Amino acid sequence: MICNKCGTNNNDGSKFCEQCGNELVAETVVENKNEPVNEPVNEPVNEPQEESVNIPAEPYVAEMPKKKSKIPFIIIAVIVGIVLIGAGITFGRELIKSDEERLTEGIINTQKAAQKVVSGEFGVESFKVEGVGVMEAALAENIIKGLKIYYNISSDSETYEITGDFSFVMSGSELIKIDYYANKEYIALGIPQLYDEIVFVKWENIKEIMIKYDFATEEDLEGFEIEPERIIELVDAYIKSLDIREYESFKLIDSEKYMDLMYGAYKNSIVEVVKEPYEMDIAREEKSFDGRVYTIDVDYAKMQKDSMEFYMELLQEDVLLAIANEAISNLFKTIIEQEDAFMYNVIVASDGGEPDWEWKASYVQELASLEQEAKEELDDEYDEIVKDIKDFYEGEDYIEMQEFLTEIYTEIDYDMKMIIEDDYLVGQNTLITINDSILDAISDSDYLSNEIGSTDFATEGEELLFEITLSSKTTYENLNMTIDFEKLPSTAVDMSKVTDEELMIMSQEIMINAETLTEGFTQGF
């Protein structure tokens, strides 16, 4: 029997080919009168016929090429896709942020920065006055235009360290400078023009110094101690307990609506936003920025109106009662957890009780009772409280005051440039221009004249005319970066160790220098 696959001639009756193992099929004779019967040939049958052949238990099978698994590729594709989508969402969010959102978030980020250096200056850009004598006008212009204040503050809210200085400058010359330092150990002050050395006081010695220099008696300060680390611990605990952003009830407020209201304060104030370098001369030093520059023309009257809209909308929220109750619970819980006798006495004293500065176990039960009373009182009177607030804002007195303030604000031109870099406010340049029309607004105000009496600004029959432009420049640096704080020099004077004789010498030196300083100040005019 011939194999129809390999052509081997097998013995008759064989079921499988001895050469290739293929199942042998008996030839079928087809009767056809018109066509001859096909003779078997030594050619393999076409592939389609192979698929219909039954494979034995142990046949010879031709090895097929292995297919590569697609699983790793799919995983990689999914991960890459997630990364790209995430990046796209983040990038897209940045793209769709409105200008007012970017600005507001930048301001908030800067305020919340744990470490920062704030430098700035305040002074008068221009000033002119008429309606007074020539000598008086010249003197006023000379004094006002020549005076500037420079300041520099480095702070770290996590380590509770702060250093800085204020300089009062007259016509380009430093008149007086005040240096200050503070941390959890001491507070220090230096005024080089009055005394050569820096003086400091350790917090733990304040009670002793107050008694030594007759600021208070021992009886007055009995039980009074200053422990900076303990005070910081208490402050942190209360800040955390009263952070309403973490309240479950606060999360029920429609935050999107209020964010829109908050951003609304800038919506009509932003004149132009450009991404360009910006330079600013501040405290005799040139500062350069490379961020998004916001040019703002502040409408004080509208800003105040927007603010009131914000609070009035918030007042309508029923969830405010839940927030208030949660705040009460957190406050009392913190007093108990911290065993804070001071805060306990503040609450008891407000109810007419006698203070006792030592914490007692009995306070826990008393505070629990006071907490329950406070909540019941709040629940009973909440609607009345809200009504009183609304009545106040809608009352004639408040409306008159708002009309007066609106008229005053209308007379103030407030121009500002704010620079945002890396989601932080890094610079601010402000010009505030006020002219004589503000005096007219005050003089014509029935509201103010009823409050304080005469508001007539006429001088010898002439109207006082003036225009003043105030300049304020500020930079914010080292945001959330480590700051190396200045340490007290070895020559610094510990006030708790100064003898009476040393104190007298110090006082005399300060008085002589103060006299010299005053003479120099008056001669400058």
Q: To which H or E segment does residue 477 belong?
A: strand 465-477
208 & 291 share domain: yes
293 & 157 share domain: yes
Point out which residues pair with 182 in neighbouring strands.
162, 187
Query: Higher-confidence residue: 289 or 45?
Result: 289
> Tokens representing 353?
């009780």
> Tokens representing 417?
């440039």
15 & 131 share domain: no
Phi-psi region of 341 (alpha: psi -120 to 50; beta: other; left: phi over 0): alpha
Domain of 156, in residue numbers: 92-223+254-316+357-523
Determine the pLDDT at residue 41: 45
Q: To which H or E segment does residue 153 belong?
A: strand 147-156
199 & 299 share domain: yes
50 & 109 share domain: no
294 & 430 share domain: yes
Note the Cα 419 to chain centre separation in Å: 15
Determine the pLDDT at residue 60: 43
377 & 500 share domain: yes
- Cβ neighbours around 262 below 10 Å, total: 17
280 & 169 share domain: yes
| Averaged confidence pLDDT in the chain | 79
Using 50, 70 and 90 to split pLDDT, how confident is the model at 179? very high
Per-residue buried b or exposed e for 8-37, using 16+ beta carbons within 10 Å of the residue's own CB = bebeeeeeebeeebbebeeeeeeeeeeeee
CA diameter of the chain? 148
Q: Is the pLDDT of residue 88 over 60?
A: no
CA distance linking residue 240 with residue 215, whole number of Å: 35
Residue 50 placed within a domain: yes
Determine the pLDDT at residue 392: 87
Averaged pLDDT for residues 191-211? 90
Residue 148 placed within a domain: yes
144 & 187 share domain: yes
Q: Is the pLDDT of residue 252 over 80?
A: yes
Determine the pLDDT at residue 231: 86
Spatial CA neighbour of 289 closest among 488, 29, 16, 106: 106
Residues 107-151 have pLDDT tens digits of 989 999 999 999 999 998 888 887 777 777 777 777 788 889 999
Residue 35 CB-half CA count within 13 A: 7
Averaged pLDDT for residues 85-97? 50
Q: Is the pLDDT of residue 508 over 80?
A: yes
CA distance linking residue 103 with residue 425, whole number of Å: 8
Report the percentage of the chain scoring pLDDT > 70.
Answer: 77
Domain count, the chain: 2
* Ranges 3-17, 32-46, 153-167, 352-366, most confident: 153-167
215 & 148 share domain: yes
Point out which residues pair with 412 in neighbouring strands.
434
Point out which residues pair with 188 in neighbouring strands.
181, 200
Q: Residues 201, 189: contact at Cβ < 8 Å?
A: no
Averaged pLDDT for residues 504-525? 80
Point out which residues pair with 431 in neighbouring strands.
415, 471
Using 50, 70 and 90 to split pLDDT, how confident is the model at 437? confident
Averaged pLDDT for residues 150-177? 91
Q: To which H or E segment does residue 384 belong?
A: helix 362-394
Residue 458 placed within a domain: yes
Determine the pLDDT at residue 358: 79
Q: Residues 19, 6: contact at Cβ < 8 Å?
A: yes
309 & 170 share domain: yes
52 & 102 share domain: no
